[in-house]
Amino acid sequence: MDLTEKQTALEQCLDEFLCSKGVKPELLKLAKRHNALPVYADMGGTLFLTKQFEVLVHSECETESLVEESDPQWQLIAKLSAAEKYPALAFLRPERPEGASTCPECQGSGRLLGFRCGECSGLGWRHAL
């Protein structure tokens, strides 16, 4: 899949999101304004993915601004969440590198008690050192 096909897949997911029912109006407004797909939310804010696959964050403290997320861990979580929510974005999930070990916390499932494993961020494996 080339970059254009990947961007088209993300655009289709964004269109699907914008047409969904029951979405918070503030989230729709931010997604439209920034042309970005919301992919993960918790008490700290919401992560969005742009068509250039940049990860943006909206803090609950902010009103309508999104800023680039610089933390690689949160970037990974955004991409994993997008791949889980939208099968067309499965290409965002990194491939397990040779030599990576199975996560000892979640035994490779990526989940603990129904939540994303904090040790491996939901990958199920850890990079070899």
| pLDDT tens for the chain, residues 1 to 129 | 899 999 999 999 999 999 999 998 889 999 999 999 999 998 889 999 999 999 999 987 666 789 999 999 999 999 999 999 999 999 999 999 998 999 999 999 999 998 999 899 999 998 754
User: Residue 128's pLDDT is what?
Assistant: 58
Q: Taking Cα atoms as reference points, which of 79, 80, 74 lies closest to residue 59?
A: 74
The CA radius of gyration of the chain, in Å to the nearest whole number, is 15
> Which residues, 6 or more positions from 34, have their beta carbon under 8 angstroms from its beta carbon?
48, 50, 56, 66
CA–CA separation, 13 vs 77, rounded Å?
18
